[in-house]
Amino acid sequence: MPLTYRLATPPDLPAHHAILTVCGEHMHRVQDMHHWHPYSPFEQWMQRVDPERVYGVYDGAWLIGTFNLNETPRPYQTAVAWQDAAHKAVYFGGFGLLPMRWGGGVGTEVMAEVDRLAQGAGYDALRFDGVASNAPLMRFYARLGYAQRGVSDLTAQGRHPVMNFERVFVTPR
């Protein structure tokens, strides 16, 4: 059965947050990665996302993943050397899949949908980040053709450095 995608409704938002919490716990225990552990409380997460642009990834009736889109960059993303800072961009984040669904092309399919959503909504570019020390994640985004735009060092905020990625949908000027 193909995956489907739908916008979350307010009663669904705690389930989306729970997926991210499970992903953080799994990465902490299995991969010794601590960037999402413990995951931020629901109220803090709600302050970072546009609740009207949180998407669910469904396999049949089952919510198996989540992501969000936002027109506002995170503060550190304003200093990134994007291809063209004037591009109308959307920022992708909060991407989590239940660990039992990792592998098998689900992430690739979700990223293709994110590209379609961004391009279909008239954005010039899709931008996001990933933990720079997560080598499998860096290879994944590189394999999908996202351009690396530089590392943001977030260690002063107690966070891991992140690699910023971009896909541009318009022809360069």
Over residues 1-60, the pLDDT tens digits come to 689 999 999 999 999 999 999 999 988 888 877 777 788 999 999 999 999 999 999 999
Instruction: Using the predicted structure, report yes or no on whether residue 160 has a pLDDT greater than 90.
Output: no
Mean pLDDT confidence for 165-172: 90
Mean pLDDT confidence for 148-158: 91
Q: What are the sequence ranges of the domains in the chain? A: 3-168
Residues in the chain: 173
Instruction: Using the predicted structure, report yes or no on whether residue 67 has a pLDDT greater than 90.
Output: yes
Measure CA 81 to chain center: 19
Which run of H or of E encompasses 47? Answer: helix 42-48
Tell me, what's the pLDDT at 123?
A: 97
Question: For the domain 3-168, what is the CATH code?
Answer: 3.40.630.30
Tell me, what's the pLDDT at 74?
A: 93
Mean pLDDT confidence for 68-78: 95
Tell me, what's the pLDDT at 124?
A: 97
Mean pLDDT confidence for 81-86: 95
**Which pLDDT tens digit goes with each residue over 100-137?**
888 889 999 999 999 999 999 999 999 999 999 989 99
Tell me, what's the pLDDT at 148?
A: 98
Which run of H or of E encompasses 171? Answer: none
Tokens of 39: 């995951």
* Backbone phi, psi, residue 165, to 5°: -120, 155
